[in-house]
Amino acid sequence: MNYMKNIAELIEQKRETFIKVSDQIWEFAETRFEEFRSAELLCKTLEEEGFAVSRGVGGIETAFIGSFGSGKPVVAILGEFDALSGMSQKRASSVQEPEVPGANGHGCGHNLLGTGSLAAAVAVKAYMEENNIKGTVRYYGCPGEEGGSGKTFMAKAGLFDDVDFALCWHPMGYNSIMAMHSLANYQVYFKFKGKSAHAAASPHLGRSALDAVELMNIGVNYLREHIIQEARVHYAVTNAGGFSPNVVQANAEVLYLVRAPKVSQVQEIYERVCNIAKGAALMTGTEVEIVFDKACSDLVQNQVIEQVMYRNFQELGVPEFDEQELALAKEVRATLSKQEWESSSTMQGVPDRDLVNWLTAYDGGTVPLNGSTDVGDVSRITPTAQCTTACFVNGSTLHSWQWVAIGGTSIGHKGMLHAGKVLAATAVDMLKNPDRIEQAKAELQERLGHAPYVSPIPDGVKPSAKK
């Protein structure tokens, strides 16, 4: 297939540009909705490549769309670029050691994700120009995936309504088609307000907000037995009320993340959690303010596009690594625990490798993803498919220092560039065969039962940089 060779060459010609962008975003390591330098770097690169860029879309300062072409069909290539707090780590190191203690780090590889999608968009544009292909290619700069659900806010703003199909990917330790079903979620703050008092002289005059937080957490822990097995409920105490034990804490808050396979199931559990919070306030004589932070829907698979992506992935092969990269991977893999080793692909009947050099077979089936992604909301508006490429050490896990260390090396770069090729080839394949786009749309409607998209985020909720 000549278009694959052309696309691969187009990306290889600009590989140093893409690597530089990825490494700069790795160094910026900006967290949700504060990715100002990362977003501007991507915007400027798109403009240099001939895209028209709209900044601050959907009312989100770090969200943007780079567009080339006109008319139908419209393909959206999704990019992320946010980091995680407290995950600073020296690159290319097999020892856990932060570059700056307490600073941020790219523990989920979004520096690679955003740049691999950028490479795909640039290659699709160039191919469209050279071959006079009609349509529009867009790069969606999607901020705040980590705990912010940026795409869900963008979807609520209608930014994907005219898109014919969407493509994305995620850096992982293996090469695959992401035929997965994710968990929907709500993230909500519970802010308790009480009354301060001297904890020894007049404790009877105080009303402890911290007591309310603790009672709420205990209540939710008892709730866990009585929710569906697939659900997950997490929390973090974001304000414990201060550092003085001799003062009754007047203010305290806890952040909850509720997950389940369907939004309706999340809503049911959320209502029960809210009742527990109200009960904790009643028991302690405090008040509780419930502040909805963000949400995302579960992912809808699209086999039509996945089959096209898999065929292109097979033709393009997988990333190949040299001896130096294999040596680093061996050192990093030696830091993994026995449990991490056993969870790797070694235990799934495939070869044991420090870096995966095969493509996982695709049969159209769906596997559960015990996590969440805001790509889910895009997938409910337009047919969407995703892949993964080997960017990290086999068996290493998301949100780990090992991922930060490898995400700024040539191992990550190779997987990133390969993902760009797979996405671009898939986009071109679909654009050249518009009947497949219609088939993909028909599949989506069948899976949804022709129900219109409803955002899980209530009206009036705005994106927040608070972590």
pLDDT single digits (tens) 406-444: 999 999 999 999 999 999 999 999 999 999 999 999 999
The predicted structure's pLDDT at residue 347:
43
How far, in Å, CA of 184 to CA of 189, rounded? 17
- Any bridge partners for residue 256, and if so which? 188, 235
For the cut 90, the answer to whether the pLDDT of residue 367 exceeds it is no
For 219-274, how does the pLDDT look when each residue is reduced to its tens digit (9 = 90+)? 999 999 999 999 999 999 999 999 999 999 999 999 999 999 999 999 999 999 99
Q: What whole-number distance in Å separates Cα of residue 43 and Cα of residue 415?
A: 22
Q: What tens digit of pLDDT does each residue of 116-172 get?
A: 999 999 999 999 999 999 999 999 999 999 999 999 999 999 999 999 999 999 999
- Structure-token match 């490798």, residue found: 353
Helix (H) / strand (E) element for 263: namely helix 263-284
The pLDDT of residue 346 is 44
E-strand stretches of 149-243: 165-172, 176-177, 180-181, 184-193, 232-239
The conformational region for residue 388 under phi > 0 = left, psi -120 to 50 = alpha, else beta, is beta
Element spanning 280, H or E: helix 263-284
Q: Which CATH class is domain 184-295?
A: alpha beta
The residues spanned by each domain of the chain are 2-181+298-448, 184-295
Q: What angle do CA 394, 112, 335 make, to 5 degrees?
A: 30
pLDDT tens string 303-357: 999 999 999 999 999 999 999 999 999 999 999 988 877 765 444 555 678 999 9
Q: How many helices (H) and strands (E) does the chain have?
A: 15, 13
> Above pLDDT 90, what percent of the chain?
91
Q: What is the pLDDT of residue 371?
A: 86
Can 2-181+298-448 and 184-295 be said to share one CATH topology?
no
Contacts within 8 Å (CB) and 24+ apart, 64-67: 64/39, 64/141, 65/138, 65/139, 65/140, 65/141, 65/159, 66/42, 66/121, 66/138, 66/139, 66/141, 67/136, 67/137, 67/138, 67/139
Kindly report which listed range (180-194, 351-365, 413-427) carries the lowest average pLDDT score.
351-365
pLDDT digits (tens, 9 = 90+) for 380-405: 999 999 999 999 999 999 999 999 99
Q: How far apart are CA 437 and CA 455, in angstroms?
A: 24
Q: What tokens were used for 412?
A: 């990550």
Residue 14 has pLDDT above 60, yes or no: yes
**C-beta pairs of 65-68 under 8 Å, 24+ apart in sequence:** 65/138, 65/139, 65/140, 65/141, 65/159, 66/42, 66/121, 66/138, 66/139, 66/141, 67/136, 67/137, 67/138, 67/139, 68/121, 68/125, 68/128, 68/136, 68/137, 68/138
Identify the pLDDT of residue 451.
86
Residue 102 exposure: Cα atoms within 13 Å on the Cβ side: 0
Q: How do residues 19-59 score in pLDDT, each as one tens digit?
A: 999 999 999 999 999 999 999 999 999 999 999 999 999 99
pLDDT of residue 352: 79
Classify domain 2-181+298-448 by CATH architecture.
3-Layer(aba) Sandwich (3.40)
- Which pLDDT value is given to residue 351? 64
CA 273 to centroid of chain Cα atoms:
25
Burial class (CB in 10 A: 0-12, 13-18, 19+), 395: buried
Minimal CA–CA distance to 174: which of 356, 17, 14, 413? 356
Give the pLDDT confidence score for residue 339 in this predicted structure: 80
Q: Which of 336, 317, 325 is nearest to 406 (CA)?
A: 325
Band of the pLDDT at 465, cuts 50, 70, 90? Answer: confident
